[in-house]
């Protein structure tokens, strides 16, 4: 995958699990993070991990579906989305103004093209793609 100079600013970590992507974003000094997951156990683990790394103040944890996000919570952020196709579809339905950049993962190769095309329509360009273990990760950035 190409080396991408991600824009600094707020990030949105969807399907945050244990919170490692959000923690890394903060550790790199990129900005604050809104991290969302449906699983309360994952959010509990994320909270403990962030506290242990002294990063809890920069990451807001939220339990709930992507459909509960407001479009202004997506616009202008870097979106880190390690979620299944149905969640990517939900994300796309919530977008008003496009995110600054996205990392799309959790997709099967047969699912990726439609999700990537929808983000292209928002003005994002593919800057990296990797396939491993039957899943695809695609990095896209705005102009």
Place of tokens 């796309």: 92
Say what the pLDDT of residue 26 is.
94
How many beta carbons lie within 10 A of that of residue 33, not counting itself? 27
Fold type of domain 73-143 = Rossmann fold (3.40.50)
The CATH class that applies to domain 7-64 reads: alpha beta
Q: What pLDDT score does 133 carry?
A: 95
Rounded alpha-carbon distances, angstroms, from residue 24 to 13, 64, 86, 106: 11, 22, 26, 19
Sheet bearing 135-141, strands edge to edge: 59-63, 33-37, 11-14, 78-82, 101-107, 135-141, 125-132
pLDDT recorded at residue 6: 77
DSSP codes, 29-63: T---EEEEES-HHHHHHHHHHHHHTT-GGGEEEEE
Length of the chain: 143
pLDDT along the chain (143 residues), means of 10: 69 94 92 96 96 95 95 94 94 92 94 96 95 95 87
Instruction: List every span in the chain annotated with CATH 3.40.50.150.
Output: 7-64, 73-143
| pTM confidence score | 0.90
Helix, strand, coil tally for the chain in percent (to 5): 35, 30, 35
């Amino acid at each position: 995958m190409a080396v991408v100079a991600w824009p600094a600013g707020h990030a949105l970590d969807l399907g945050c699990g244990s919170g490692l992507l959000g923690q890394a974003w903060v550790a790199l000094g990129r900005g604050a993070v809104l991290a969302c997951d449906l699983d309360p156990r994952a959010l509990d683990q994320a909270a403990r991990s962030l506290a242990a790394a002294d990063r809890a103040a920069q990451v807001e944890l939220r339990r709930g579906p992507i459909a509960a996000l407001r479009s202004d919570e997506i616009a202008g952020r870097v979106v880190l989305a390690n979620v299944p196709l149905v969640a990517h579809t939900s994300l796309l339905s919530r977008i008003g103004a496009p995110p600054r950049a996205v990392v799309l993962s959790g997709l099967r190769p047969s699912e990726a093209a439609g999700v990537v095309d929808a983000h292209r329509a928002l003005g994002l360009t593919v800057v990296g793609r990797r396939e491993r273990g039957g899943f695809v990760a695609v990095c896209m950035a705005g102009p």
